[in-house]
Structure 1
Amino acid sequence: MILNLLKSKIHCATVTEANLQYMGSITIDEALMEAAHILPNERVQVVDNNNGARLETYVIPGPKNSGVICLNGAAARCVQPGDVVIIMAYAFMTEDEARSYVPTVVMVDGQNAVREVRQAEHHGQTH
Structure 2
Amino acid sequence: MNVSALKSKIHRAVVTKVDLNYVGSISIDENLMELSGLFEFEKVDVLNITNGNRIQTYVIKAERNSGTIGINGAAAHLINKNDLVIIVSYCQINKDEVTLLRPKIIHVDRLNSPIFLDKQPA
Q: TM-score, normalised by structure 1?
A: 0.93
Partner of 2:19: 19
Aligned-residue offset at 1:120: 1.3
**2 CA distance for matches of 1:12 and 1:48?**
9
Larger Rg: 1
Unpaired runs of at least 5, structure 1: none
Partner of 2:93: 93
Structure 1 SS opposite 2:112:
coil
**1 CA distance for matches of 2:16 and 2:97?**
36
Aligned length: 122
Runs of 4+ in structure 1 over 2 Å off: none
Unpaired runs of at least 5, structure 2: none
Partner of 1:29: 29
Structure 2 SS opposite 1:22:
coil
Q: RMSD across aligned C-alpha pairs, in angstroms? A: 1.1
Structure 2 SS opposite 1:24:
coil
Aligned-residue offset at 1:99: 1.9
Aligned-residue offset at 1:102: 2.1
Aligned-residue offset at 1:6: 0.6
Deviation digits for residues 37-65 of structure 1 (CA, Å, limit 9, x no counterpart): 00000000000001000000000000000
Percent of pairs identical after alignment? 42
